[in-house]
Structure 1
Amino acid sequence: MRLTILNTVPSSPAPLDPWEVLLSGPAPDAVRIGLAVPLSGPLALTAPSALALAGLAAEECTGAGGVGGRRVELVAIDSGRAPEVVAAEATALRDAGAIQTLVGFHTSDVHRALERAWAGRGTYVFTPPHEGGPSAPGVRRTGHGPHAQHAAAIAWLVTHRRAARWVLLGTDYVWPRAVHRAARTVLADLGAQVVGEALVPFGPGDPAPLLDLVVRSRADAVLLSLVGRDLALFHREFARAGLDRRVVRLSGALEENGLYALGGDATGELYASMPSFAASSSSTDERQLELQERHASRSGHDAPVVCAYARGLYDGVRLACALLGAPGGRAAAVPTGAPRLARADGLSFTELRAG
């Protein structure tokens, strides 16, 4: 899976293979950034977008003079594997001088393992929505925490969709647990109820108990913290059970690649709260539009979509380059706007005003 994905990255240069980099040793005329993205596992469906936008960021950094005159290269690390495996490979590359810094998006159990293992090895930029709480020295988190990401979206749905009875469903790891804690607080403050909750392992499983929980609890809405392929599979079963047109769904992990994977949605009842969404020509998100134009110019109009994870990774690579080239490793933070709420409309999203 990893080699297949790397070979389909549009434009050049493609990310370097970690084992080839270890064998060849450091390149004096290049700065190498470890790119920890899921090339396997539930989030692998986002990898083409992520790799393409990270490549654009590296190319733009090099074109602007690089880091101290050295070109910027990316070394791909498959962060879809077990946390301890990812952490061991990343630290081995750093200790061998094969990479100078680390940027990535992945699930928060991998993030925690990397955060512990990377200590004292420089900067690690983690770009997706995260679980909140303090971060270790050297770790730069550029996404939103659970409360910031979900509060306005939940409030909008309680008010505008009369969603008073909520079921919380997620994968059993760090980020969904944190999302559930934040959601319970937000819903209590709004006078709404949590009438059911479940956490399930990664991977395809029997959706029947989860669907039964939604029916038995007479839920108006479901907050979903499943990710990637698992999220898409659940949505399909939700629709097959006939629940998609009468129960509101909100996800903090649904972007365009996931929407494509589930075949789109035209019920008007599927919502996502993400840092950004792919923009149409009428969008007010000027940064997204400009980024899409540069991406299309580099990779063609049939290039992978600029989803929220990919845009976050683009910003993360640009930040890493700035940190490597700045005196004392200091650089301005990546501008992070408020999370955006959108409703699925076929194979795209229509943004709504949540705040």
Structure 2
Amino acid sequence: MSDSLPIAFVVPLQGPTGIYGPSCLACGELAAEQLNAVDGILGKHVELVVVDGGREPEVVAAEVGALVDSGRVKAVAGWHISAVRQAITRRIGGKVVYAYAAMHEGRDDTPGVFMLGERPINQLLPAAHWMREQLGVGRWAVVGNDYVFPRVTGATARLALADGPSTVVSETYVPLGTTNFSRVLTDLELCRTSNEVDGVIMLLMGQDAVHFNRQFARQGLSDRLARLSPAVEENTLLGGGAGAHENLYAAAAYFDGLDTAESSELARAYYARYGRWAPALNAVGESCYEAILFLARLGKTTGSMAVADVGAMASGTFYDGPRGLVRLDGNLLDQDVYLASANGLAFEIQEQIARAT
């Protein structure tokens, strides 16, 4: 290959979302190795320049901006919270292609930004409908971190469910990094006792979700209130311990053990590369793998990595990956989404709740 294509790979290595970091790094590295074993991206060797996305958003954005301005990187990819994404787009929007891997609250029309994760319309909302139909859970208390993704997603759920048989009864948002949920749990206990709620929509990230689930179980709420989350994954289950997840459900486009040909292919390659004690293979890590391969697909389709040229990747384009068949819808992805129940430290798929159309 003639030279390299350096990519700013923004993933959390500290803070509440640092729990996802090892999975992100392993999956990103695997994607780069697989591409480099063939012809990289645009004939160039893929180089991941790791940026710690677990710091304050403006700090992360400043580092990414300096890398872009100096020409050190030619694209940006990775999993990080929406507050970090917004800071990055304010700093470098329109300068380079940005493959944002995480589930998100909705469209971001910044030139060059592609939003590859799940969003409420194909993740949280169909999951809530399933839980109403199958479990009779329909009166929800939202508990989330206090930043853009949880707040917008909570508001979306409140508005979308208002005219149906389900409803959002309350919304509570706590700072990212909260470790003590005693007041929140007391309020939930009172609401359950008065028969006001029968489920909790958890919009808590990483270690915050671990603390919440442990305390939720210790307070004896697990058998009385169902929990539903678009963010809980295998690392969260490991952190919480086997006894913290009774009546807990998660919605995502990928789970370790998802029984499809595409997901099985990734799992075989992942565990062959990293072995039995690999970081958890989960939706967060897989989304990073997806983002790096998306950049390769973008380059192959458009023959370029320039923001001005990526419009050649037409809306409506279908392609397949570990999540199965996905479809580009503007700068968003439509994808299959599944609902799973936690069983100790693993997930059991219950049903496919959304399809790429």
TM-score range, shorter chain: 0.7 to 0.9
Residue 262 of structure 1: aligned partner: 240
Once residues 134 and 309 of structure 1 are traced to their aligned partners in structure 2, the CA distance between those partners, rounded to angstroms, is 20
Distance change >3 Å, CA 68–CA 251, structure 1 → 2: closer
Once residues 80 and 268 of structure 1 are traced to their aligned partners in structure 2, the CA distance between those partners, rounded to angstroms, is 29
Residue 11 of structure 1: aligned partner: none
Higher strand share: 2
Moved segments of 4+, more than 6 Å: none
Work out whether residues 319 and 333 of structure 1, in 8 Å CA contact, stay in contact via their aligned partners in 2. no
Is structure 2 residue 289 aligned with structure 1 residue 305? no
Residue 47 of structure 1: aligned partner: 21
Is structure 2 residue 221 aligned with structure 1 residue 217? no
Is structure 2 residue 267 aligned with structure 1 residue 292? yes
Once residues 66 and 236 of structure 2 are traced to their aligned partners in structure 1, the CA distance between those partners, rounded to angstroms, is 32
Task: Letter of the 2:251 partner, please give it.
Answer: S
| TM norm structure 2 | 0.87
Per the TM alignment, residue 127 of structure 1 is displaced from its structure 2 partner at its CA by 0.8
Distance change >3 Å, CA 259–CA 267, structure 1 → 2: closer
1:318-347, CA deviations, whole angstroms, 9 ceiling, x for partnerless residues?
111333454234445662522210000111
1:241-290, CA deviations, whole angstroms, 9 ceiling, x for partnerless residues?
110111100111101011100013476411011121001xxx43221111
Distance change >3 Å, CA 167–CA 68, structure 1 → 2: closer
- Computed over aligned residues only, the root mean square deviation of the Cα atoms, in angstroms, reads 1.8
1:301-331, CA deviations, whole angstroms, 9 ceiling, x for partnerless residues?
3211210011111010011133345423444
Is structure 2 residue 250 aligned with structure 1 residue 272? yes
Per the TM alignment, residue 209 of structure 1 is displaced from its structure 2 partner at its CA by 1.5
Once residues 215 and 244 of structure 2 are traced to their aligned partners in structure 1, the CA distance between those partners, rounded to angstroms, is 15
Residue 100 of structure 2: aligned partner: 126
Is structure 2 residue 213 aligned with structure 1 residue 235? yes
- Which of 336, 345, 349 is residue 351 of structure 1 equivalent to? 349
Per the TM alignment, residue 139 of structure 1 is displaced from its structure 2 partner at its CA by 0.2
- Which of 204, 217, 223 is residue 226 of structure 1 equivalent to? 204
Query: Sequence identity of aligned pairs in percent?
Result: 36
Aligned residue runs from structure 1 range 139-150, under 5 A: 139-150=113-124
Work out whether residues 34 and 75 of structure 1, in 8 Å CA contact, stay in contact via their aligned partners in 2. yes
Work out whether residues 266 and 345 of structure 1, in 8 Å CA contact, stay in contact via their aligned partners in 2. no
Aligned residues: 326
Once residues 352 and 243 of structure 1 are traced to their aligned partners in structure 2, the CA distance between those partners, rounded to angstroms, is 22
Gaps of 5+ in 2: 304-308, 320-325, 327-333
SS of corresponding position for 1:277: coil
- Which of 230, 247, 252 is residue 230 of structure 2 equivalent to? 252
Gaps of 5+ in 1: 1-26
Once residues 267 and 57 of structure 1 are traced to their aligned partners in structure 2, the CA distance between those partners, rounded to angstroms, is 31
Work out whether residues 152 and 354 of structure 1, in 8 Å CA contact, stay in contact via their aligned partners in 2. no
Task: Letter of the 2:59 partner, please give it.
Answer: V
- Which of 88, 97, 107 is residue 114 of structure 1 equivalent to? 88
